[in-house]
Amino acid sequence: MKYPRIGHGIDVHRFGEGGSITLAGVNIAHSQGLVAHSDGDVALHALCDALLGALALGDIGKHFPDTDMAYKNADSRVLLRRVFALVQEKGYQLGNCDLTILAEKPKLAPHIALMQQRIAEDLASTSDSVSIKATTTEKLGFVGRQEGIEAHAVVLLVPISGS
């Protein structure tokens, strides 16, 4: 018998050159970009790690190593869909996910509904199963100094009926 599984993920990226960032699959105008091998989507990277962790399948670096040029500038939504295919192969579906994005800037509130929609699409779910919160660190740490962005994700996976 299969039981529900819980996973947690975290990711950080520092700011660098560029004029926009991608968070939870949404492109957001910003004075800087995020330094990364892929598109630097910290929210989706944390979510991938949470999904993989829930089923003890390793982490995003194991599945999509930054030493592999095939993933250079990769769209993290594509990576998320590949990870979720592994979840489904193991007989699980999303119960819900909860993400927290830590950033001083840009302000993320205007983008959260679209972020929820994009993630729900990629995880064969509905927006009410996807929680996204944005907060600051009250000017503390690297996020507070506006040196980068951090994201945390928690997922609950439930067995697919009949699997």
Q: How far apart are CA 40 and CA 148, in angstroms?
A: 11
16 is in an annotated binding site: no
Query: Where does residue 116 rank: exposed (0-12), middle (13-18), buried (19+ CB within 10 A)?
Result: buried
Q: Cβ(132)–Cβ(43) under 8 Å?
A: yes
12 is in an annotated binding site: yes
15 is in an annotated binding site: no
98 is in an annotated binding site: no
Helix intervals (H) in 30-160: 42-54, 60-63, 76-89, 112-122, 141-144
Domains in the chain (CATH in brackets) are 5-159 (3.30.1330.50)
pLDDT tens sequence across 64-119? 877 777 767 778 999 999 999 999 999 999 999 999 999 999 999 999 999 999 99
Phi, psi torsion values for 66, nearest 5 degrees: -75, 0
122 is in an annotated binding site: no
The pLDDT value recorded for residue 163 is: 67
Pairing of strands 26-29, 20-23: antiparallel
Question: How far out from the chain centre does Cα 73 lie?
Answer: 16
Q: How far apart are CA 92 and CA 46, in angstroms?
A: 19
**pLDDT higher than 70, residue 19:** yes
49 is in an annotated binding site: no
pLDDT tens sequence across 23-72? 999 999 999 988 888 778 999 999 999 999 999 999 988 988 777 777 67
Q: Tokens 């996976």 correspond to what residue?
A: 157
pLDDT tens sequence across 110-144? 999 999 999 999 999 999 999 999 999 999 999 99
Rounded mean pLDDT of 3-14? Answer: 97
11 is in an annotated binding site: yes
26 is in an annotated binding site: no
